[in-house]
């Protein structure tokens, strides 16, 4: 592990201001500290026309191709339709805080009950374009095992720069990944950001279970239940 003192200080300063994140991605409709309430967000008459923050983050260009995870599997926008998606950021040489966060996410993914496992996709976006997929796969296999439910996605230099810009993450802090976890609802709208370490795994599990009941997005609850909240 490499500890980049100056870069980690920059990352810490960015994390302290991470409340800007939801505004950067979506405008003031979504709060950074918790799920937005209907009073906080104007919902379009047609849910199909609602903003898709997730697609904007993962595929900023309308004609962007499918992405490839650390095991060579394709991931395209339709694969995430009507799914709860958790997005974090990783790097093969990231700091111990990033390593601990990745381990916590793997623990959450493995703790999902059967009713939710096919409904939730947990993604880690690589912010270190050097080294290729083999390096990212070695990182994942060594840290969380070959059977991890996490899908770590490669990024090229241009994609990493675009990601940093969209999050207002300081370029000089790269390749250390942004210390934040994002939770998206079934319509691709950002519902929650988690910006503190260590990650509150039980809270994330509970939020996932609750968010599953919002079939048409955060502003349109259906009253359905995904069962009792899972536990770690």
Query: pLDDT by residue (tens digit) across 50-101?
Result: 578 999 999 988 888 999 999 999 999 999 999 999 999 999 999 999 999 9
DSSP sequence for 77-128? GGGGTT-EEEEEEE-TT--HHHHHHHHHHHHHHHH--HHHHTTEEEEEEE--
Q: What is the pTM of this model?
A: 0.79
Q: What is the pLDDT of residues 7-58, one digit of tens each?
A: 544 444 444 444 445 434 544 333 334 433 333 433 444 545 557 899 999 9
Distance from chain centroid for Cα 99: 15
Q: If DSSP codes are grouped into helix, strand and coil, which group holds residue 193?
A: strand
pLDDT of residue 106: 98
- On whether the CB atoms of residues 69 and 75 are closer than 8 A, the answer is yes
Distance from chain centroid for Cα 127: 13
The confidence band for 229, taking pLDDT boundaries of 50, 70 and 90, is: low
Whether the pLDDT of residue 2 is over 50: the answer is: no
Q: What is the pLDDT of residues 144-158, one digit of tens each?
A: 999 999 999 999 899
Conformation bin of residue 136: beta by default, left when phi > 0, alpha when psi is -120 to 50 = alpha
Cα–Cα distance, 164 to 127 (Å, whole number): 9
pLDDT of residue 4: 45
Cα–Cα distance, 43 to 57 (Å, whole number): 20
DSSP sequence for 128-185? --TTHHHHHHHHHHHHH-TT-S-EEE---HHHHHHHHHHHT--GGGTTSPPS-EEEE-
pLDDT of residue 223: 53
Weakest-pLDDT range from 102-106, 107-111, 160-164, 182-186: 160-164
The arithmetic mean of pLDDT across residues 183-209, rounded, is 94
Please indicate whether residue 40 or residue 224 has the higher confidence score (pLDDT): 224
Mean per-residue pLDDT of the chain: 81
Cα–Cα distance, 47 to 24 (Å, whole number): 21
The confidence band for 222, taking pLDDT boundaries of 50, 70 and 90, is: low
pLDDT over 70 for what percent of the chain?
73
Tokens for 89, please give them: 């950021």
Tokens for 172, please give them: 């000089």
Cα–Cα distance, 79 to 97 (Å, whole number): 30
pLDDT of residue 18: 46
CATH (residue range 5-32+48-211)? 3.40.30.10
The arithmetic mean of pLDDT across residues 207-224, rounded, is 81
pLDDT of residue 84: 98
pLDDT over 90 for what percent of the chain?
60
pLDDT of residue 32: 38
């Amino acid at each position: 592990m490499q500890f980049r003192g100056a870069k980690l200080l920059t990352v810490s300063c960015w994390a302290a201001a991470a409340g800007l994140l939801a505004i950067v991605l979506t405008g003031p409709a979504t709060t950074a500290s918790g799920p937005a309430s209907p009073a906080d967000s104007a919902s379009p008459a047609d849910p199909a026309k609602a903003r898709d923050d997730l697609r904007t983050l993962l595929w900023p260009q309308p004609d962007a191709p499918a992405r490839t995870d650390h095991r060579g599997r394709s991931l395209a926008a339709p694969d995430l339709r009507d799914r709860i998606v958790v997005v974090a950021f990783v790097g093969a040489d990231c700091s111990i805080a990033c390593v601990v966060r990745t381990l916590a996410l793997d623990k959450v993914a493995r703790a999902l009950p059967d009713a939710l496992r096919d409904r939730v996709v947990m993604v880690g976006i690589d912010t270190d374009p050097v080294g290729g997929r083999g390096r990212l796969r070695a990182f994942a296999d060594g840290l969380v095992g070959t059977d991890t439910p996490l899908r770590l996605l490669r990024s090229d230099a241009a994609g990493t720069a675009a990601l940093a810009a969209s999050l207002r993450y300081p370029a000089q802090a790269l390749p250390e990944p942004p210390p934040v976890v994002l939770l998206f609802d079934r319509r691709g709208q950002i519902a929650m950001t988690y910006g503190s370490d260590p990650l509150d795994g039980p809270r994330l599990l509970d939020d996932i279970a609750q968010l599953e009941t919002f079939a048409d997005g955060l502003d349109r609850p259906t009253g359905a239940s995904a069962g009792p909240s899972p536990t770690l």
